[in-house]
Amino acid sequence: MRFGVVRFPGSCDEVDAQLAASRVGEAVLLWHAERDLGRIDVVVVPGGFSYGDYLRPGAIARFAPVMDAIAEFARAGGPVLGICNGFQVLCEAGMLPGALLPNRGLRFVCRQPGVRVESTASPFTAALAVGERLSIPVKHTTGCYWAPEHQLDRLEAENRVVLRYCPGQNPNGSMRDIAGVCNEAGNVMGLMPHPEHAVDQLTGSADGLRLFESVAQALAPVAA
Amino acid sequence: MKARVLVRPKSGILDPQGQAVQRALPALGFTDVHEVRVGRLIELELDDPTRLDEMCERLLTNPLVEDYEVLLEEGARR
């Protein structure tokens, strides 16, 4: 099991993502200028401020050479997890539906909301149960999930809303309390909370690790 | 030639920046402002304006949530 964690200029959570992934497998960093992912089983597009968030978060990162390889990897069914800025990048790249807008309260938020598992359609939640409550931190300024109403209806009907903030804990005004979604095939998932920051009880919660464990289990059911 | 691209949040899209500005104006005595939307201005110096729409749709804006308007310097044609 080998994770590739992308590093763009301006990424800042790639090392935590690498450490989290290395608890369930091998984890290497992928420089944004790479055109070849090499032998990778899972891609993580991490949080941070790729290319300084210039223009819009994720707008420039989506054109990085590594993104073509990631799109190709995803088309072949490879699991891709976009966290925070990574979620913004995947939306800008059209690999996930919708967009992330400035937080409704305009302020940077940093807190640890409860997040409910809504779907196990993604390999990152396949080993979890619908209705489980996870405690995973968020920290962002542009995390208000938005999509047209008809698309939201469709996402819900197709079981593609993977995570929702628990009632009353939506930190950013996201429509329908959506914290994470996946693509049609389920293999590409994006979320605003940071599972890589919740992998040890030492920092208050190890719930984030379960997403990494889940994908490892989904890819190697026999070994698990 | 010079081109300007005005980018604004689509109508119906929440614009917290515009709301914050709108709430701040009455404090300065400007009490008759009914709506404020905050967007951005992109100025380009370029030779061929024919591909401006493509630039706007692929990079300068997110067409899902933003509208844009292209303004060319006087006399220029697209």
Residues of B in contact with A55 (CB under 8 A): 59-60
Let me know if residue B78 belongs to a domain.
no
Nearest-Cα distance to chain A for B77, in Å, is 26
Let me know if residue A224 belongs to a domain.
no
Residues of B in contact with A170 (CB under 8 A): none
A–B interface: beta-carbon pairs under 8 A: 32
**B59 in A contact zone (CB under 8 Å):** yes
Q: Which of A91, A144, A194, A197 is catalytic?
A: A194
Q: Per residue in B36-53, pLDDT tens?
A: 999 999 999 999 999 999
> Which pLDDT belongs to residue B12?
87
Let me know if residue B77 belongs to a domain.
no
> Which pLDDT belongs to residue B76?
62
Nearest by CB to B62, from A99, A103, A104: name it.
A99
Residue A75, domain CATH:
3.40.50.880
How many domains does chain B fold into? Answer: 1
Interfacial residues of A (vs B; Cβ cutoff 8 Å): 55-56, 59-60, 63, 92, 98-99, 101-106, 144, 146-148, 173
Let me know if residue A92 belongs to a domain.
yes
Q: Which residue of B has its CA nearest to A147?
A: B64
Nearest-Cα distance to chain A for B78, in Å, is 24
Range of the domain at A141: 2-219
Q: Report the percentage of chain A scoring pLDDT > 90.
A: 96
Q: Which of A14, A92, A118, A196 is catalytic?
A: A196
* CB within 8 Å: A101 and B60: no
> Which pLDDT belongs to residue B73?
84
Predicted confidence band of residue A222 (pLDDT cuts 50, 70, 90): low
Asked about A84 being catalytic, the answer comes back as yes
pLDDT exceeds 80 at position A221: no
Amino acid in the structure at residue B38: V
Range of the domain at B25: 2-72
Let me know if residue A146 belongs to a domain.
yes
Q: Look at A2-16, A210-224, B23-37, B55-69 and tell me which has the smallest mean pLDDT.
A: A210-224
> Which pLDDT belongs to residue A220?
82
**B60 in A contact zone (CB under 8 Å):** yes
Residues of B in contact with A57 (CB under 8 A): none
Q: Which of A14, A84, A118, A144 is catalytic?
A: A84
* CB within 8 Å: B65 and A146: yes
- For chain B of 78 residues, list the mean pLDDT of each consecutive stretch of 10: 95 90 94 94 94 96 96 74
> Which pLDDT belongs to residue A224?
43
Is residue B34 a contact partner of residue B23, using CB atoms and an 8 Å limit? no
Let me know if residue A171 belongs to a domain.
yes
**Tokens 């790479």 sit on residue:** A34
Asked about A196 being catalytic, the answer comes back as yes
Let me know if residue B41 belongs to a domain.
yes
A99, two tokens: 């967009």
How many domains does chain A fold into? Answer: 1
Is residue A192 a contact partner of residue A179, using CB atoms and an 8 Å limit? yes
Residue B60, domain CATH:
3.30.1280.10
Asked about A149 being catalytic, the answer comes back as no
